[in-house]
Amino acid sequence: MTIKTLILQGEGERLDFKNKISSCGKIAKTLVAFANNKGGKLLVGVADNGHIKGVKNEEEEKYMLQRAGHQYCRPAIELHFDEIYVDDKLVLVAEVVASDTKPHYALGDDKKWWVYVRVKDKSILAGKVVVDVLHRGNQPDGIFVNYTDKEKELLNYVHAHAKPQLPELCKHLRLSRRKTQRILVNLIVAGVIKVHSGDRDEYYTETL
């Protein structure tokens, strides 16, 4: 697939455009979101609207990206670079592979470490349930779900209600936040429930 064909797809779950890298902290969120999801490519020298502007100093852009991956991401993220000329303009392709050491954290302006995930064309701050799911997803043994009355009650509620969120489920199950999260994580890792991250709150649906 050519760069032009890739650009025509537009920004999405596995593709992001950047005119230039101006902040290690900001770009670390994108790197972490790609690593925590299915991987992705960052096209440097391409505007948000897909216009190819080109990179003036590829070594400086690489340095900023590598610094972001090593100093602003935990665990560190390695990038794979490719340099492609399009109409005499240089596009720097920085690829992040899906990680097997999830979750990755990005250093925020508050000097705290936060987990991000990729949702459509945005890097979204992950909630506690998603972070737990990323942790559990690394375990090779899978998970056995024991369908107690509470598991069945949660599944029935998710089936009957549109986009239920964690506080709503806690109230319905009459359980603490921690215990409700544990049930949700087990069901998500088992592939029974699907978690949806958004700009505001996570919500849950049945897996189709």
Q: Are 115 and 33 in contact (CB under 8 A)?
A: no
Residue 186's SS3 state is helix
Residues 62 and 144 in one domain: no
Rounded percentage of the chain residues whose pLDDT exceeds 90: 80
Q: Are residues 179 and 102 in the same domain?
A: no
- CATH code, domain carrying 202: 1.10.10.10
pTM of the full structure: 0.85
Specify whether 167 is located in the same domain as 181.
yes
Alpha-carbon distance of 11 to 56, in angstroms, equals 22
User: Are 105 and 14 members of one domain?
Assistant: yes
pLDDT at 139: 61
**Backbone angle region of 61, left / alpha / beta, with phi > 0 → left and psi within -120 to 50 → alpha:** alpha
Question: How many angstroms separate the Cα of 75 from the Cα of each of 52, 56, 69, 197?
Answer: 32, 30, 9, 22
**Same domain assignment for residues 134 and 108:** no
**Residues 173 and 72 grouped into a single domain:** no
Q: Determine the structural domain holding residue 178 and report its residue range.
A: 128-206
- Sequence-distant (≥ 6) Cβ neighbours of residue 29 within 8 angstroms: 106, 116, 123
Q: Is the pLDDT of residue 140 over 60?
A: no
The whole-chain average pLDDT of the chain stands at 92
Least confident of 33-42, 120-129, 189-198: 189-198
Q: Into how many domains does the chain fold? A: 2
pLDDT in tens, 63-108: 999 999 999 999 999 999 999 999 999 999 999 999 999 999 999 9
Please check whether residues 86 and 46 belong to one and the same domain: yes
